[in-house]
Amino acid sequence: MSANDKSDPSAGPPSFEQAKTKREKARAAGLDPSYWYAVELDHAIKKGSVQRVTFWGTHVALYRDERGVLRAVEDRCAHRHVPLSIGVVQGERIVCQYHGWEYDKDGKLAGIPHDLFGMQMPKCKLRTYPVKVRYGLVWIFFGDAERAEQVPMPYIPDLEGPEKWACVPVAFTVNAHHSMIIDNVSDFTHEYLHRKFRPFKDAKLTKLESTDDAVYVSYDTKVGTGGVTAHFIDRAAADTDHMDLAYQYPYQWSNTGNHIKHWLFVLPIDRTTTRTFYLFHFKSFKVPGLPLRFPRQLMEPIIRTANRTHVQPLLVEDKIACEAEQEGWERHWSEPSAEVNPAVHAFQALTIKKWEQHLAREAAQRSLNPRKRELDQEPPAAE
């Protein structure tokens, strides 16, 4: 019985290869690894510490060496495959917790602290990943490392230079497929969910354009009409009756009146888990009740407070909704469902197209170089 046999109520949703409908495909698709992905808040990784980060089932040990340089290596000791993410950082090396095998900054086995019984030290090299820091986030390139420098990282002009806007990143893990999160942030039909905070109101879709790599959407909507933060919005300087947003694969952003913007970066951990990094940024805040703007240096502290009191509680509403949608999908994926927002159809189509392109490229590479692929998958000859 196949995983998507609709007569078997215990069968889960279909794999991408088995999926038939657009929704089935969107909910099974991965994201193309050949982009830069945000994996963690920069300040969360202290000098000398290591942690696991995961991209679509691939575990990576991310560590900050004792000089402060971030490094990423596959999360597997070449000896007995114990995860290096439970290991120890020494200088610029990562040391396996079990027998103490040491790997240098290039992932090469560089030391074994016990008797080798007369044998040579095995020649082992683990895969390493390009790592960068930008906008308070750590980014990893999970695709072919040789291509990393040709692939641009997200560039946000408003967060560059001396006049940069105020921003304090927010990170969440959501137990839902990444496509549900992209649907959620780009689809303004869920005003009902946010009836307490009212971040948008009476949304009407006014533009929907798809290109090869993006979907651009505009809504006429009243932005930020509810909650305490509504009093901080600089309505004299910003048009808050309108919002542009985009799914600029694999990232998502919005823009309200060139004054309030956000970028969302998703890290697809696996089919039902996604880490999300939100960069809300603001050009100015007005002093409630007065025709004055807050000085720039006060904006980060205000955002930090607003993140706690307003932004995170609002995003938790979305998190709960997406997790509930995931639960519903796992149980009822085979039931017919209706999607009325054409923007959602367009986002899903882009996710599916990009994943199909990635799979096709991967298959082509495998057929061009099958031997190399086999060698890559074998454990190093350490025995």
x-marked contacts with Fe ion along 316-335 as a string, rule CB under 5 A: --x-----------------
Residue 50, contacted partner among ligand FES, Fe ion, none, CB below 5-8 A by kind: none
Is 205 in a helix, a strand, or coil? strand
Backbone angles phi, psi at 25, to 5 degrees: -70, -45
Residue 318, contacted partner among ligand FES, Fe ion, none, CB below 5-8 A by kind: Fe ion
Record the tokens describing residue 38, joined without a space.
Answer: 């945000």
From CA 201, how far away is CA 189, in angstroms rounded?
A: 9
Contact call for residue 187 and Fe ion (CB under 5 A): no
List of E strands, the chain: 36-41, 50-55, 58-64, 70-74, 88-90, 93-95, 102-103, 109-111, 128-129, 131-134, 137-141, 166-167, 170-174, 200-210, 214-223, 242-248, 251-256, 260-270, 273-282
Identify the residue whose tokens are 């367009």: 346
The minimum distance between CB 101 and ligand FES, in angstroms, equals 4
Is 59 in a helix, a strand, or coil? strand
Residue 321, contacted partner among ligand FES, Fe ion, none, CB below 5-8 A by kind: none
Contact call for residue 40 and Fe ion (CB under 5 A): no
From CA 28, how far away is CA 189, in angstroms rounded?
A: 23
Residue 271, contacted partner among Fe ion, ligand FES, none, CB below 5-8 A by kind: none
Residue 96, contacted partner among ligand FES, Fe ion, none, CB below 5-8 A by kind: ligand FES
Cβ atoms < 10 Å from Cβ of 248? 16
Closer residue to Fe ion in complex, CB, 92/323: 323
Contact call for residue 183 and Fe ion (CB under 5 A): no
Closer residue to ligand FES in complex, CB, 73/96: 96
Closer residue to ligand FES in complex, CB, 82/214: 82
Closer residue to ligand FES in complex, CB, 72/180: 72
Closer residue to Fe ion in complex, CB, 189/273: 189
- 95 contacts 77 by C-beta, under 8 angstroms: no
The minimum distance between CB 325 and Fe ion, in angstroms, equals 12
Residue 32, contacted partner among ligand FES, Fe ion, none, CB below 5-8 A by kind: none
Residue ranges that bind Fe ion, judged by CB under 5 A: 318
